Amino acid sequence: MYLTNINLGQYVPTGSFIHGLDPRAKLLSLLLIISAIFPSRTAIGVVLWAGVLVAIVAASKIPWNIVIISARPVFFLVVFTFLFHIVASLFRNTGMLQALNMAFFTSSRLLVLMLFAVMLPLTTAPLELADGLDAMLQPLERFRFPAHECAMMIGMALRFIPLLMQETDKIMRAQLSRGARLDQGNIFQRVKAFFPVLIPLLVIIFRRADEVAIAMEARGYEGGAGRTRRKPLIWRKTDTLIVILSGLAVALFIILGA
Amino acid sequence: MNAQNNSNTPLIGVRSVSFSYSSKNTGRALNRVSFFVARGERIAILGHNGSGKSTLVKILGGLIAPTEGTCEVNGINIQDIEFRDLRRTLGMVFQDPENQIVAAMVEDDAAFAPENQGLPPAEIQARVDDALRRVNMTHKQGASVSALSGGEKQRLALAGALAAKVDCLILDEATAMLDPKGRLDIERTLREMHSEGMTIIEVTHQLEAAGFGDIDRVIVLAKGEIRWEGVTSDFWDMAETLGFGVPDSLKFRKYCDTHRLKFPDDMAGINPPPLKFPGSENPGSERFRIRGLSFRHDDKNKALTNINAEIYAGEWLSIIGRTGSGKSTLVQHLNALYKIQEGQIFLDGQPLPQKGEEVHTLRQKVGLVFQHPEDQLFSPTVKDELAFAPKNAGFKGPELEEAIIFGLECSGLGRDFLGRNPIALSGGERRLVAIASVLSARPDCIVLDEPLAGLDASYQKQILSMLGKLRDEGRTVITITHDLDAALKHSDRVLILRAGSKIQEGRPRGIMDELMKSLEPEAWPEVLRISAEIHSVNPKFPLLYDYQELLSCISPT
């Protein structure tokens, strides 16, 4: 019930070739791969994509147990999907075997897809990821879309989410110590019981936000205009190659799938 | 700007600055404050909670504008200086390192200011390397921020300010949240930068002995006005009158000077009188018995290894040890927040309940106050806040009213506080309310994690006397603290943890040897450091922690 052990896909530097890729290349490839896995209808497709995933994890030099731990929140979703399919089949009068088959296929497809997504923050430093997003969203600035601010927000969220998790854990423990019943009663009682955690958390979030804003101002931040980068994004030939490869793989799967 | 940049113009000039948070200019947080800071000076601005020092910091940093008067940098009104120029002149470091670090990786964060300045990548990298080297963090350049200790995070925040190549650093309680080691590391860095010509303004509620001799000047702020101003050596003579503590090492230096004693050589021949053992001779009945307790967090090393201990009714036990030594994990077993994995704990002879309704009864009996408990308040009134724990424990009607009053009386706050909103109270009052909100369930045993952290002297005293009273009523008081002086002077027994194992427990007097081995010398109480030095030339001289005792050992008459 405590949250300290959730490690929400934090960056694991290993210096692999995957880590060295341009974040834009990784983002583009991920988009391509996800859009290919989603519509895939054959078990073979999922198995092949799982193979690609295994190859990427190996190339990233990140141990599997870290990947699994980072993806822990995702497993709930996968298990939920599985159960949902089973339950749904009961109402649809399909055969149990067929339902199991379908549930297994859908949930494993979701799992592979999620694990691909988890690999992005694991192999990309939060700031690089934010810079990559910033660069990719830049064309939208013309339509007054706050691209830099959005990217900055995502970067800051990645920095502060683990901290707020710890904070939530600490508040929960403190209120449990005061006899709070966080895990008893019906849904309404539970929601009400959570106020003693929620309110202090909101106060802390607002105070932190305020202090962070002041600290950023003190370090001369005034938005994206005129800002430079310590490590400017450099698009190399390998980045082009990776995106082309992803594109080709996707095309191949779509053709085979059809 | 260069025109004014001659040696006659002070770097910072505060001219008759007033500030009021209300639009009617009443209840001023600052009232006609004036002072100057010369280039290369290191000054300390001292004030208790509510003295207006935080407001002054914001004005000095150009983050808010004074209601009246001006704040000048190099002779130019701060309001007229271009934002970018100002940020290249003044760097700031705040209390909580977490709120100053914007990137998740060390180098990325140090680069934030030069990136904002729009410098070319090579120059940014050079600034980052230089700043990290100056705060002694080069070896962590590729590390993730979450893997740093509190002290390292604050040094990174310092590097973040340095990377902007500022002329002046303003520090707002920058060491308040750090342990003794972390504080010393920051102090070393500041000394080095001061010697290289950096102007440093430190705003704090307590000047430390470590800064003595390097700080040129002290300004004392009280109720929004300058109460005292002078050189550091004069400050220590005035400190007690102004309401600030004097470190024992400085008191002792003065004692030696007035008695013309050479330390430690003149103390080699002293024959100290036998020492009395303070504290209750007969502990109360046994409350906790811990047997073979071991604990392991998920996929990590052991947090606790084979802990055995007894804790009694009517005693005050201090648990000390470095960050990460298992102190918090141990006490969170006492009210079943952590479930026992290996070993046993008995409370009043019964095995400690681990689940079900009995756990709620346990949590009423054993109250736990976390670090910075004021962050956990949530009720619209102090009364509701105090009612939360007893209500959960099943108190009703007059019993509940009594419990609320009991909590309030422990805190020493008046009845008029019951109707007030906790959010609107001062930091010290909020701490008292938070502790009272656990005490209102009338626990037999109260455990507090760093109850004194970040409070000024008067609130610390109040909390220490509250805990003493609870102990005298026959309750068990357990504190976790970095503040060894308080732990040794006030508690009956001390338990030392190191890397999850119990190293020793006993009366404060009996554990001095072990204390010296378990903690780095920076963390020793000052009197222990002094007596250890005398001990090295005079083996008859005991290891001590109490200043009065030190004096009585040196001159028995």
d(CA B527, CA B206): 19
Q: Is B434 exposed, middle or buried (0-12, 13-18, 19+ CB in 10 A)?
A: buried
B38, B152: one domain = yes
From the CA of B511, how many Å to the nearest CA of chain A? Answer: 31
Contact B378 A218 (CB under 8 A): no
Q: Which residue has the higher pLDDT, A45 or B90?
A: B90
Q: Which of residues 362-381 of B touch A (CB under 8 A)?
A: 363-364, 367-371, 373, 375-378
B486, B525: one domain = no
Chain B nearest-CA residue for A5: B298
pLDDT band at B3 (very low <50, low <70, confident <90, very high): very low
So what's the pLDDT on residue B333?
95
Contact A156 B100 (CB under 8 A): no
Q: What is the DSSP code string of B315-366? A: -EEEEE--TTSSHHHHHHHHTTSSPPSEEEEEETTEEPP-SSHHHHHHHHHE
Q: What one-character DSSP code corresponds to residue B508?
A: G
pLDDT in tens, B302-317: 889 999 999 999 999 9
Interface test with A, best of B88, B100, B102 (most A CBs within 10 A): B102
Domain contains B234: yes
Q: How far is CA A75 from the centre of its chain?
A: 13
Collapse the DSSP code of B289 into the 3-class scheme (helix H, G, I; strand E, B; otherwise coil) and give the result: strand
CB atoms within 10 A of CB B322: 19
d(CA B341, CA B307): 12
CB atoms within 10 A of CB B501: 16
Does B4 score more than 80 pLDDT? no
Q: Is B356 exposed, middle or buried (0-12, 13-18, 19+ CB in 10 A)?
A: exposed
Interface test with B, best of A178, A204, A205 (most B CBs within 10 A): A178
- Phi and psi at residue B259, to the nearest 5°: -95, 10
Q: Answer positive or negative: Cα dihedral of B418, B424, B429, B434.
A: positive
d(CA B430, CA B421): 10
B328, B425: one domain = yes
Q: Tell whether B180 lies on the interface with A, counting CB pairs under 8 A.
A: no
Domain contains B513: no
Intra-chain end-to-end CA distance of chain A, in Å: 45
pLDDT band at B9 (very low <50, low <70, confident <90, very high): confident
pLDDT in tens, chain A (258 residues): 344 444 555 788 888 999 999 999 999 999 999 888 877 777 888 888 899 999 999 999 998 888 888 888 788 888 888 888 888 877 777 777 888 888 888 899 999 999 999 999 899 988 888 889 889 988 888 888 888 888 888 888 888 888 888 899 999 999 999 999 887 777 777 788 889 999 999 999 999 999 999 999 999 998 888 889 898 888 999 999 999 999 998 888 778 764
Residues of B in contact with A176 (CB under 8 A): 337, 363
So what's the pLDDT on residue B280?
55
Alpha-carbon distances of B538 from B254, B265, B531, B544, rounded to whole Å: 21, 9, 10, 14
Collapse the DSSP code of B538 into the 3-class scheme (helix H, G, I; strand E, B; otherwise coil) and give the result: coil
CA nearest to A68, candidates A129, A21, A119: A119
> What CA dihedral angle connects A180, A182, A185 and A190, to 10 degrees?
110
Alpha-carbon distances of B374 from A3, B352, B435, B475, rounded to whole Å: 21, 28, 8, 23
Domain contains B287: no
B522, B481: one domain = no
Domain contains B306: no
The mean pLDDT value of chain B amounts to 89
Q: What is the DSSP code string of A107-123? A: HHHHHHHHHHHHHHHHH
pLDDT band at B477 (very low <50, low <70, confident <90, very high): very high
Q: What one-character DSSP code corresponds to residue B221?
A: E
Q: Which residue has the tokens 């959960």?
A: B392
pLDDT in tens, B202-236: 998 888 766 667 899 999 999 999 999 999 888 98
* Beta strand pairing call for B286-296 and B342-347: antiparallel
Q: Which helix H or strand E contains A197, and what residues bound it? A: helix A195-218
- Nearby residues of B93 by Cβ (< 8 Å), 6 or more positions away: B100, B154, B157, B158, B161, B169, B170, B171, B172, B174
Domain contains B303: no
Q: Tell whether B54 lies on the interface with A, counting CB pairs under 8 A.
A: no
The parent domain of residue B448 ranges over 315-341+353-506
So what's the pLDDT on residue B117?
93
pLDDT band at B278 (very low <50, low <70, confident <90, very high): low
B547, B482: one domain = no
B241, B269: one domain = no
Residues of A in contact with B131 (CB under 8 A): none
Q: Which residues pair with B290 in a beta bridge?
A: B309, B345
From the CA of A80, how many Å to the nearest CA of chain B? Answer: 24
pLDDT band at B180 (very low <50, low <70, confident <90, very high): confident
Collapse the DSSP code of B383 into the 3-class scheme (helix H, G, I; strand E, B; otherwise coil) and give the result: helix
- Phi and psi at residue B215, to the nearest 5°: -80, 125
From the CA of A191, how many Å to the nearest CA of chain B? Answer: 15
d(CA B554, CA B538): 12
Interface test with A, best of B59, B78, B92, B115 (most A CBs within 10 A): B115
pLDDT band at B105 (very low <50, low <70, confident <90, very high): confident
So what's the pLDDT on residue B2?
43
Chain A nearest-CA residue for B298: A5
B63, B174: one domain = yes
Contact B118 A227 (CB under 8 A): yes
User: Number of structural domains, chain B?
Assistant: 3
> Average pLDDT of B85-114?
92
d(CA A210, CA A258): 54
pLDDT in tens, B345-404: 999 999 999 988 899 899 999 999 999 999 999 999 999 999 999 999 999 999 999 999
Q: Which residue has the tokens 């996929």?
A: B299
Contact A220 B378 (CB under 8 A): no
> Average pLDDT of B114-122?
94
Residues of A in contact with B161 (CB under 8 A): 218-219
From the CA of A176, how many Å to the nearest CA of chain B? Answer: 8
From the CA of B556, how many Å to the nearest CA of chain A? Answer: 48
* Beta strand pairing call for B493-498 and B316-320: parallel
Q: What is the DSSP code string of A87-106? A: HHHHHHT--HHHHHHHHHHH
B469, B380: one domain = yes
The pairs formed by A29-33 with CB atoms below 8 angstroms and a separation of 24 or more are A29/A242, A29/A243, A29/A245, A29/A246, A30/A116, A30/A117, A30/A120, A32/A243, A32/A246, A32/A247, A32/A250, A33/A116, A33/A246, A33/A249, A33/A250
Q: Which residues pair with B476 in a beta bridge?
A: B445
So what's the pLDDT on residue A11?
81
Tokens of B350: 């019964």
So what's the pLDDT on residue B282?
63
d(CA B208, CA A226): 41
CB atoms within 10 A of CB B107: 23
Contact A220 B108 (CB under 8 A): no
So what's the pLDDT on residue B453?
85
d(CA B11, CA B8): 9
So what's the pLDDT on residue A219?
93
d(CA B535, CA A254): 82
> What CA dihedral angle connects A74, A76, A78 and A84, to 10 degrees?
-150
Q: Is B304:B326 a contact under the CB 8 Å cutoff?
A: yes
B153, B193: one domain = yes
d(CA A97, CA A94): 9
Question: Nearest CB to B364: which of A5, A127, A179?
Answer: A179
> Average pLDDT of B502-509?
86
d(CA A97, CA B102): 52
Q: Is B40:B197 a contact under the CB 8 Å cutoff?
A: yes
CB atoms within 10 A of CB B307: 22
Where does a domain end: B228, B246, B264?
Answer: B246
B218, B266: one domain = no
Domain with B170 in it: what CATH number?
3.40.50.300
Q: Which of residues 78-97 of B touch A (CB under 8 A)?
A: 83-84, 87-88, 90-92, 94, 96
So what's the pLDDT on residue B465?
94
Q: Is A102 left (phi over 0), alpha (psi -120 to 50) or beta?
A: alpha
Domain contains B410: yes
Q: Is B185:B136 a contact under the CB 8 Å cutoff?
A: yes
Domain contains B288: no
pLDDT band at B275 (very low <50, low <70, confident <90, very high): confident
B237, B270: one domain = no
Contact A228 B368 (CB under 8 A): no
d(CA B518, CA B528): 14
Q: What one-character DSSP code corresponds to residue A151?
A: H
Q: Is B374:B432 a contact under the CB 8 Å cutoff?
A: no
Residues of A in contact with B337 (CB under 8 A): 173, 176-177
Q: Is the peptide bond preceding residue A162 cis, with omega within 30 degrees of 0?
A: no
Q: How wide is the angle at C-alpha B286 spanned by C-alphas B275 and B452, nearest 5°?
A: 65
Tokens of B313: 């009714």
Q: Is B371:B449 a contact under the CB 8 Å cutoff?
A: yes
Q: Tell whether B357 lies on the interface with A, counting CB pairs under 8 A.
A: no
B375, B359: one domain = yes
